[in-house]
Amino acid sequence: MPGYEAISDLELSLLLKNSDAAAFSEIYRRYSAPLLVHGSNKLQDLEEAKDVVHEVFFCLWNKRAELRIHTSLSGYLYAATRNKILDRFAHSKIRSAYEQSLQKFLEQGDLITDNAIRERELRLLIEEEIAALPDKMRKVFEFSRKDSYSHREISGLLNISEETVKKQVHNALKILKMRLTAFLY
């Protein structure tokens, strides 16, 4: 690699475009340290800055055939470094938002699951307690609460007085309240 130190950036970039590994090595030798300082200042993290600089040079080598430098080689490398840093910031924001969303879901997930289980258990218990009511009382209660019939309609269906319907519904609610209170507390 003797003599590459004296070659200009423009000539190095032309040699790089023709896959000259020695030209790439010279570009790396010239610019890796200043880019590392630049990246470290922006990121406030030396290890992450090293990763960024390595990505820049990795991309430079992989895209050497399509390389189009409109300014200077140093300008191109600094711009590439800046863009990689901006990509990291954007990715960091997205990752942070995702992590917050996931954490929120995890915190609520237990609560949602717990509430769903309790709701299902309570619904089953209510159904069991309704089924345990005396037959006539259960029929009156189901017509009233499940089928939303009025007391007058129930009395017509079962051939009993409206007062009996009212009393049966009241007694059913009283029994259910007493039995379910033990479960809830």
The pLDDT value recorded for residue 70 is 78
* pTM check: above 0.95: no
In the predicted model, residues of the chain with pLDDT beneath 70 are: 1-2, 106-113, 183-185
* Per-residue pLDDT tens over the stretch 63-97: 998 888 878 899 999 999 999 988 888 887 777 77
The CATH class, in words, for 4-98 is mainly alpha
- Domain extents for the chain? 4-98, 132-184
The pLDDT value recorded for residue 111 is 61
Q: Which two tokens stand for residue 153?
A: 């309609």
Q: What is the DSSP string of 120-177?
A: HHHHHHHHHHHHTS-HHHHHHHIIIIIS---HHHHHHHHT--HHHHHHHHHHHHHHHH
The pLDDT value recorded for residue 61 is 94
